[in-house]
Amino acid sequence: MRTTRQHTLATLTILATSVLLSACGTTDGQLQSMIEETRRDAAVATHTAEEAKQQAAQAQRLAEDAMARSERVGAQAQQIDEQFERLADEQDNWFINGGNK
């Protein structure tokens, strides 16, 4: 709950704002319009920020998945390289030993 002092300060702030806007030619209706527009803009900004947060989380998950796949592909490439080396060694040994005698 607001204290009496907070309530008084809020009332004075509203009154001062109203007086200043009146001096500038702004009516209470225009002020209410500006407040509503600001609220809508804030709601849109909040929604946009939430969407951005969700997209960032999805991008993080995709990046982690890509890294895991990359590691698996790297391991498979290493195995293939080792198999080619063994085959090359076997072929060299075959030729060194005279092939099909």
Q: What is the pLDDT of residues 60-93, one digit of tens each?
A: 999 999 999 999 999 999 999 999 999 999 998 8
Q: Which range among 5-9, 25-29, 35-39, 96-100 shows the weakest confidence by mean pLDDT?
A: 25-29
Global pTM value: 0.50
Give the residue carrying structure tokens 């796949």. Answer: 69
Domain ranges (residues) in the chain = 27-96
Q: Where residue 9 falls among pLDDT bands split at 50, 70, 90?
A: confident
With helix as H, strand as E and coil as C, how does 13-64 read? HHHHHHHHHHHCCCCHHHHHHHHHHHHHHHHHHHHHHHHHHHHHHHHHHHHH
Q: Where residue 16 falls among pLDDT bands split at 50, 70, 90?
A: confident
Q: What is the pLDDT of residues 19-45, one digit of tens each?
A: 777 777 767 777 788 888 888 888 889
